[in-house]
A and B are shown apart, each in its own frame.
Chain A
Amino acid sequence: DQQVKQNSPSLSVQEGRISILNCDYTNSMFDYFLWYKKYPAEGPTFLISISSIKDKNEDGRFTVFLNKSAKHLSLHIVPSQPGDSAVYFCAASEWSTLTFGKGTMLLVSP
């Protein structure tokens, strides 16, 4: 049973607009959440994270929101740039072991 779900396999956005990537989880023991970005033929790279005691964390163009009651987190990218086109993985941590979603492919068109 999938504990971390990214229900949108893909997302297309125009350059300059906002990209919103969503992630749902089922395990209430998850206490830390991360987003990773992956380009083809490369390993995932860390993007941004949030602790379960917070509801928002911001880093430049990237903001992660956490809604614990809904077991939902989202990644906002504003403004989106063509270089943001990649696969984005949501991950949740329990006892420092990460469980990943299946990823969402983001395509930002000029």
Chain B
Amino acid sequence: KAGVTQTPRYLIKTRGQQVTLSCSPISGHRSVSWYQQTPGQGLQFLFEYFSETQRNKGNFPGRFSGRQFSNSRSEMNVSTLELGDSALYLCASSLAGTEKLFFGSGTQLSVL
């Protein structure tokens, strides 16, 4: 069974640009969550999607958005990039109603 797939693995952008990250969950998993990892801050919850609906949202500005498609694949978008957005963005999928998350390898975003 394939794991969670995130693309691209690395991204370099400049301030003010926007970026879209992609996540394909494990087959059969309908819940997809996104986390931001920065040095010293651990993993911070961005949002969770289930059946194409955002079910929960973390404390991030509106520049961070996401969506989920009917095949459970998810994308997150960050607009008007800032230097502080440089981080590892992790996607995780899970079976509905369970807390056990399966993570992808992440997308390392560098904002210059």
Contacts and interface: CB of A to CB of B under 8 A. Distances in A.
Interface of A: 6, 32, 34, 36, 41-46, 49, 89, 91, 93, 95-103
A29 to B, nearest CB: 13
Contacts of A103: 42
Given A36-B103, A42-B105, 19 more contacts: A32-B99, A34-B100, A43-B4, A43-B90, A43-B92, A43-B105, A44-B90, A45-B103, A46-B100, A46-B101, A91-B43, A96-B31, A97-B45, A97-B56, A98-B33, A98-B45, A99-B45, A100-B35, A103-B42
Interface of B: 4, 31, 33, 35, 40-45, 48, 56, 90, 92, 94, 97-106
A32 B31 CA distance: 18
Contacts of A49: 99-100
A104 to B, nearest CB: 10
Nearest to A96: B99
A42 B44 CA distance: 17
